[in-house]
Amino acid sequence: MNKKIILSGIQPSGELCIGNYLGALKQWNILQDKYESIFLVVDMHALTVDQVPSDLRQRCLSFVAQYIACGIDPDKSIIAMQSHVHEHVELMWVLNSLCYLGELNRMTQFKDKSKDKKNVNVGLFTYPVLMASDILLYQADLVPVGADQKQHLELSRDLAIRFNYKYSDTFKIPEPFIPESGARIMSLQDPLKKMSKSDSNLNNIIALLDSNAIIKKKINRAVTDSGSEIKYSEDKPGLSNLIDIYTSLTNEKIEDVEQKYIGKMYSVLKKDLIEIIIDFLGPIKEEYTKIISDKAYLAEVLSDGSEKASFKARRTLSKVYRKVGFVKK
């Protein structure tokens, strides 16, 4: 029987952070053993925010190296650069013609990212249609993402259903795969907003490549409340976020962690968490340093990945072109 397909992607903006790991990469790593897997660096999505071209180019390669250092295995999974497979934008155009302005107007990520901007580019607005095309092109069954992507995924499903209804069955209807723990890691300085890799205040995030000294400084400075009891609760968002990071990295239960720290001060929990993060990121950073220096290896992974991805993408796109009534080449 054919294996089910998973697909996901991260946009190369900012620095990959522990939120991206716990919400996405950790599940990719586990799921790649069971599913046929495609993991993209969605560089075209990254153009929707300002980029310095030479930085973007380096960051794209750095993200591929970080995917591999986090355990994504190019022998098991396809790792590809979105811009290397031109079918993504071609399918997007077809989906654009099925998507309503009202649907895009409701997207909370668009509202957040366009807030306070003088000029909002059209790419930021149609971003979710490109994401739908990433997913539908590969006939993905499951999309492992953090909780913030749920709304985008619902749009992908709606567009697939609409296309299938209008032209006959073509796309699989993808399901989100959102982890129970670590789906929404919050900012260290403002625990009411999510940790985001392109946050301009780097004290809000733990980057996967942060040095040990920086990790220590950021966790020590992380905002907590003025109480003293180590308890996971809505009115202690800062502390609860630290417990979330703790349990997601150690796979311990929240109750067990609360039990372990009865009568102990916040500073004890912070000290242990620093150690947990340092121990966890150490091997990833070491692996990353080896991979990033081997440019020939990275080029080979990407050329292999884009060849395999293009093959699958072509199949879906030619079906779509036929169904919408385009003349065969």
If binding is defined by CB under 6 A, does position 236 make contact with ligand ATP? no
Minimum CB distance to ligand LTN smaller for 143 or for 207 = 143
Catalytic residue among 113, 216, 231, 285: 113
Letter string b/e over residues 162-195, b meaning 16 or more CB atoms within 10 A of that residue's CB: ebeeebeebbbebebbbbebbbbbbbbbbbeebb
Active site residue 118: no
Nearest to 218 by CA among 198, 236, 238, 232: 238
Roughly what angle, to the nearest 10 degrees, separates helices 150-167 and 122-137? Answer: 70
d(CA 173, CA 137): 11
Question: Of 192-200, 210-218, 230-238, 286-294, which part binds ligand ATP (CB under 6 A)?
Answer: 192-200
Minimum CB distance to ligand LTN smaller for 5 or for 273 = 5
Give me the count of residues in the chain.
329
Minimum CB distance to ligand LTN smaller for 25 or for 188 = 25
7 binds, among ligand ATP, ligand LTN, none (CB under 5 to 8 A by kind): ligand LTN
If binding is defined by CB under 6 A, does position 135 make contact with ligand ATP? no
Q: Which residue in the block uniquely carries the two structure tokens 């934008």?
A: 89
194 binds, among ligand ATP, ligand LTN, none (CB under 5 to 8 A by kind): ligand ATP
Catalytic residue among 194, 236, 270, 312: 194
Active site residue 194: yes
Residues with Cβ within 8 Å of residue 271, at least 6 apart in sequence: none
d(CA 296, CA 79): 15
Active site residue 308: no
Nearest distance in Å: CB 296, ligand ATP:
27
Question: Of 158-166, 189-197, 221-229, 300-308, which part binds ligand ATP (CB under 6 A)?
Answer: 189-197
List the x/- string, 148-187, binding to ligand ATP by CB under 6 A: xx---------------------------------xxx--
Nearest to 6 by CA among 96, 29, 154: 29
64 binds, among ligand LTN, ligand ATP, none (CB under 5 to 8 A by kind): none
Q: What is the 3-state secondary structure (H, E, C) of 227-283?
A: CCCCCCCCCCHHHHHHHHHHHHHHCCCHHHHHHHCCCCCHHHHHHHHHHHHHHHHHH
Interface residue list for ligand ATP (CB under 6 A): 10-11, 13-14, 19-20, 22-24, 145-146, 148-149, 183-185, 194-198
Residues recognised as catalytic: 113, 194, 197
